Amino acid sequence: MPTLLDGRKISSDIKAEIKLKVEKMKDAGQRAPHLAIIIVGDDGASHTYVDGKIKACKAVGFDYTLMQFAATISEEKLLKHVDQLNSDSDIDGFIVQLPLPEHISVERVTESISPDKDVDGFVNQNFGSIISDSPLLMPATPFGVMELLKRYEIDTKGKDCVIVGASRLVGAPLALMMSHTGHATVTLCHKYTKDLSSHTQKADILVVAVGKPNLITREMVKEGAVVIDVGTTRVADATKKTGFKLSGDVDFENVSKIASYITPVPGGVGPMTIASLMINTLRAARHNQ
């Protein structure tokens, strides 16, 4: 059996470390870091994610502000609220929970966030800093993947890393982190990639972030590979009280029989994303105070 990459445990360890740092800040007469969260509309999954972030803020001792708006809010009004947070010296960092309603431009909203308060790491300036010697606020989910590998002492140097899914939120920044910081040889696959299996079968480290349940089967994975499943999709399940279960992009039951390390879904990368958000908020607070 493989070693489970337990994101819940590592996230808990990171939050405990942050809590101690926050207590030291307060003892030194500094205020606690302050995170603001904007959520638009009534998307159930989004509210679940936001609840998790608020819970994490409470656990580490951060102050937080939740700003909820109807799905009918105009783009201009939303941008005004973003601008207010940019200029509020009491707010160290903030996020705009995605997705947004179709009439609102995600790029325009995210690019309006001040880079030193962009704790999701979405702004172009922060994205570009990944390959600098002094990275700023890192994209949260890829940062979480890298931290998970680091905490389990999984060596990435010189390894063949295949990333399936080239999104700007996960795949693209992770490819930069893996090659620049992790010193891995990276192959980035996407929807136009031909013969996906020919790439995934060569991976020492396989990361999948597509959102297609069980896309990666046992036959597509090299024996002994490290498998990181970022995918999280709600799949109907009448046996659950909620009526659904969370499914990853990897056929966990069968791939786990040949992998050396593997993340569960849920409980793998998800908690690490929130932990990374807490790290970024602490960094922003130290920079801003």
pLDDT digits (tens, 9 = 90+) for 24-40: 999 999 999 999 999 99
Residue 164: what pLDDT?
A: 98
Residue 44: what pLDDT?
A: 84
What does the alpha-carbon distance between residue 43 and residue 64 come to, in Å, rounded to a whole number?
A: 21
For the question of whether the overall pTM of this predicted structure is more than 0.75, the answer is: yes
What does the alpha-carbon distance between residue 183 and residue 178 come to, in Å, rounded to a whole number?
A: 6
115: closest CA among 81, 146, 138, 84? 138
pLDDT per residue as tens digits for the range 126-168: 999 999 888 889 999 999 999 999 999 999 999 999 999 999 9
Same fold, 30-114 and 140-269: yes
In the predicted model, residues of the chain with pLDDT beneath 70 are 289
Residue 43: what pLDDT?
A: 87
Give helix then strand counts, H and E, for the chain. Answer: 10, 11
> What are the catalytic residues?
53, 97, 120
Q: What are phi and psi of 207, to 5 degrees?
A: -115, 130
Residue 246: what pLDDT?
A: 86
pLDDT per residue as tens digits for the range 43-66: 888 998 999 999 999 999 999 999
- The domain spans of the chain are 30-114, 140-269
β-bridge pairing 34-40 and 93-96: parallel
CA geometry: angle at 130 spanning 222 and 15, to 5°?
80
Residue 243: what pLDDT?
A: 80
Q: CB-based contacts of 276: which residues, under 8 Å, 6+ apart?
A: 138, 140, 141, 143, 144, 147
Residue 277: what pLDDT?
A: 97
Tokens 């606020």 identify what position? 137
Q: Identify the DSSP state of 99.
A: P
Residue 244: what pLDDT?
A: 81
Residue 31: what pLDDT?
A: 95
What does the alpha-carbon distance between residue 125 and residue 150 come to, in Å, rounded to a whole number?
A: 25
Token pair for 81? 């609220």
Burial class of residue 280, CB neighbours in 10 A (0-12, 13-18, 19+):
buried
* β strands within the chain, DSSP E: 3-4, 34-40, 63-69, 93-96, 160-164, 185-189, 205-208, 226-229, 233-236, 244-247, 261-262
- Name the CATH superfamily for 140-269: NAD(P)-binding Rossmann-like Domain (3.40.50.720)
Q: Which residues of 175-203 are buried (b: 16+ CB within 10 A; e: fewer)?
A: bbbbbeebebbbbbbeeeeeebeebbbeb
- Name the CATH superfamily for 30-114: Leucine Dehydrogenase, chain A, domain 1 (3.40.50.10860)
